[in-house]
C-alpha cells in the first residue's frame, strides 16, 4: 500500500490507508518487537512549527526518536527567516541538509497545498490555520477504537468553535469516511451556515447534542481567530450556554466519554470535575490524556508509512 508524499488533509487518505495506520499503531502499542526500527540508514525527520504547540510537536519528536530517526528541530525564531529568507528557500535548504520528512505547522490555511506540486521532502501537516489537522483526527480515531468505541453507525457531538477549528474539519472528514455521524454544536458564530454532508447535523442546543450522541468531543473557542475577523464578543456566557460539566452530564444521565484535543480553557468549554475523572474506557470521564498517550503510536505509524510506503 502506498501513502502520499504530502499528507495535507484527511482527504489525502482512503479507508484502506486509515485502516493500515490503525493496525500499525496497534502493533506498535502491543507488539513493538515486530517492527524493525531505523539502525543503519537513519532517516532525518524535522519539525518546522510556525505556530505554538505542546502536544503535536512533542509527540512527533518522541515518535521520530523512538523509531531511531535523526531528529532535526528547525526553530523559526532563531533561523534566517528572521533575516528575511522566505519559507520556500528555507525548505530547499533543509532538503539539501538531508531532511527526508518534515512536520510543518503554519497559521496560514492551505499553505502546504502548493508544495504538493514539487515537494522538497515528505511533508506531514501538523495543523494549518483553520484548515486541517489530519494527524490529530487519526490519533483520536485510534484512541476511540483502542478504548472500545467504533464510530461506524454511531454519533459523535463536536461542541465548541467548530467553524474555526482545524481539528473539527479533519475529524468530520475522518469520522464520516469511517461511517459515523456528527452533530456540530456551538453558539452562533462557531458553526458553519450549512453543511452538504448528509452525515453532519448542525445544532445550537447543547443538551440536544449531548442527548443524541455516543461520544462528546469538546473544542475551545479560537479567540485568536475571532479577533482576526474583528469580533469583539468573547463568548462570556459560553460556560453556561455550551460548557460541559459533570453536573450537566449527570443531569442528562449520559455515561459517555469526553474527548478534547487541547489546549483546554478550563472552566469555559470543560469543567474541572471532568478533568478530575480521567478514563481509558468508553464510559463517563475525561479521555484527553488517553488521546495524548495514543498520539505517540499513531504518529510513529504515520512517520513509518510516509517514509517507507510512497506513491
Provide the minimum distance between the beta carbon of 52 and ligand CP in the complex, in angstroms, as a whole number: 7
Asked if 90 is part of the footprint of ligand CP (rule: CB under 6 A), the reply reads no
Provide the minimum distance between the beta carbon of 22 and ligand CP in the complex, in angstroms, as a whole number: 19
Cell of 84: 528575511
| Nearest CB to ligand CP, comparing residues 139 and 256 | 139
**Residues 132-171: x where in contact with ligand CP by CB under 6 A, - otherwise, as a string:** -x--x-----------------------------------
Burial (CB < 10 A; 0-12, 13-18, 19+), residue 121, is: buried
- Interatomic CA distance for residues 164 and 144, integer angstroms: 23
Interacting span for ligand CP (CB under 6 A) from 14-22, 48-56, 81-89, 271-279: 48-56
- Interatomic CA distance for residues 212 and 74, integer angstroms: 45
Q: Pick the binder of ligand CP from 43, 127, 134, 243 (CB under 6 A).
A: 127
Q: What is the DSSP letter of 83?
A: G
| Nearest CB to ligand CP, comparing residues 56 and 176 | 56
Q: Pick the binder of ligand CP from 11, 14, 23, 54 (CB under 6 A).
A: 54
Provide the minimum distance between the beta carbon of 55 and ligand CP in the complex, in angstroms, as a whole number: 4
Q: Examine residue 4 and say whether the peptide bond preceding it is cis (omega within 30 degrees of 0).
A: no
Provide the minimum distance between the beta carbon of 128 and ligand CP in the complex, in angstroms, as a whole number: 12
Provide the minimum distance between the beta carbon of 171 and ligand CP in the complex, in angstroms, as a whole number: 11
Q: Pick the binder of ligand CP from 9, 24, 47, 56 (CB under 6 A).
A: 56
Cell of 305: 508509512
- Interatomic CA distance for residues 98 and 203, integer angstroms: 49
Provide the minimum distance between the beta carbon of 251 and ligand CP in the complex, in angstroms, as a whole number: 29
Backbone angles phi, psi at 31, to 5 degrees: -145, 55
Asked if 55 is part of the footprint of ligand CP (rule: CB under 6 A), the reply reads yes
DSSP string, 37-66: --SSSPPEEEEEESS--SHHHHHHHHHHHH
Residue 104's alpha-carbon distances to 96, 116, 134, 156, 225, in angstroms, are 17, 13, 12, 28, 19
Count residues contacting ligand CP (CB under 6 A)?
10
Provide the minimum distance between the beta carbon of 224 and ligand CP in the complex, in angstroms, as a whole number: 12
Provide the minimum distance between the beta carbon of 69 and ligand CP in the complex, in angstroms, as a whole number: 20
Report the 10 Å Cβ neighbour count for 148: 11
Asked if 129 is part of the footprint of ligand CP (rule: CB under 6 A), the reply reads no
| Nearest CB to ligand CP, comparing residues 181 and 300 | 300
Contacts of 46 (CB under 8 A, 6+ apart): 71, 72, 73, 74, 94, 99, 101, 102, 103
Angle at 174 between CA 169 and CA 178, to 5 degrees: 150
221-280 positions binding ligand CP, by CB under 6 A: 261-263
Backbone angles phi, psi at 48, to 5 degrees: -135, 100
What are the residues binding ligand CP (CB under 6 A)? 53-56, 127, 133, 136, 261-263
Amino acid at each position: 500500500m502506498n501513502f502520499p508524499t504530502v499528507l495535507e488533509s484527511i482527504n489525502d487518505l482512503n479507508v484502506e490507508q486509515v485502516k493500515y495506520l490503525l493496525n500499525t499503531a496497534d502493533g506498535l502499542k502491543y507488539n513493538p518487537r515486530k517492527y524493525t526500527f531505523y539502525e543503519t540508514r537513519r532517516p532525518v525527520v524535522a519539525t518546522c512549527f510556525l505556530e505554538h504547540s505542546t502536544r503535536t510537536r512533542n509527540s512527533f519528536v518522541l515518535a521520530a526518536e523512538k523509531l531511531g530517526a535523526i531528529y532535526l528541530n528547525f526553530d523559526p525564531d532563531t533561523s534566517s527567516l528572521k533575516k528575511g529568507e522566505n519559507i520556500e528557500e528555507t525548505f530547499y535548504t533543509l532538503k539539501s541538509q538531508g531532511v527526508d520528512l518534515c512536520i510543518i505547522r503554519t497559521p496560514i490555511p492551505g499553505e502546504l497545498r502548493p508544495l504538493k506540486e514539487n515537494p522538497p521532502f515528505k511533508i506531514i501537516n501538523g495543523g494549518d490555520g483553520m484548515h486541517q489537522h489530519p494527524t490529530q483526527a487519526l490519533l483520536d480515531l485510534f484512541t476511540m477504537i483502542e478504548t472500545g468505541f467504533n464510530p461506524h453507525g454511531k454519533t459523535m457531538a463536536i461542541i465548541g468553535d467548530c467553524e474555526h477549528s482545524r481539528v473539527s474539519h479533519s475529524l468530520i472528514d475522518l469520522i464520516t469516511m469511517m461511517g459515523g455521524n456528527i452533530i456540530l454544536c456551538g453558539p452562533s458564530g462557531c458553526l458553519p451556515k450549512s453543511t452538504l454532508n448528509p452525515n453532519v447535523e448542525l445544532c445550537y442546543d447543547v443538551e440536544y447534542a449531548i442527548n443524541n450522541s455516543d461520544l462528546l468531543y469538546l473544542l475551545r473557542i479560537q479567540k485568536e481567530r475571532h479577533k482576526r475577523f474583528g469580533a469583539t464578543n468573547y463568548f462570556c456566557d459560553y460556560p453556561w450556554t455550551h460548557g460541559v460539566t459533570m453536573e450537566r452530564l449527570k443531569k442528562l444521565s449520559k455515561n459517555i466519554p469526553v474527548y478534547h484535543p487541547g489546549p483546554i480553557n478550563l472552566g469555559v468549554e470543560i469543567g474541572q470535575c471532568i478533568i478530575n475523572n480521567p478514563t481509558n474506557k468508553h464510559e463517563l470521564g475525561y479521555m484527553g490524556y488517553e488521546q495524548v498517550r495514543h498520539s505517540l503510536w499513531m504518529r510513529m505509524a504515520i512517520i513509518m508509512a510516509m517514509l517507507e510506503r510512497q506513491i
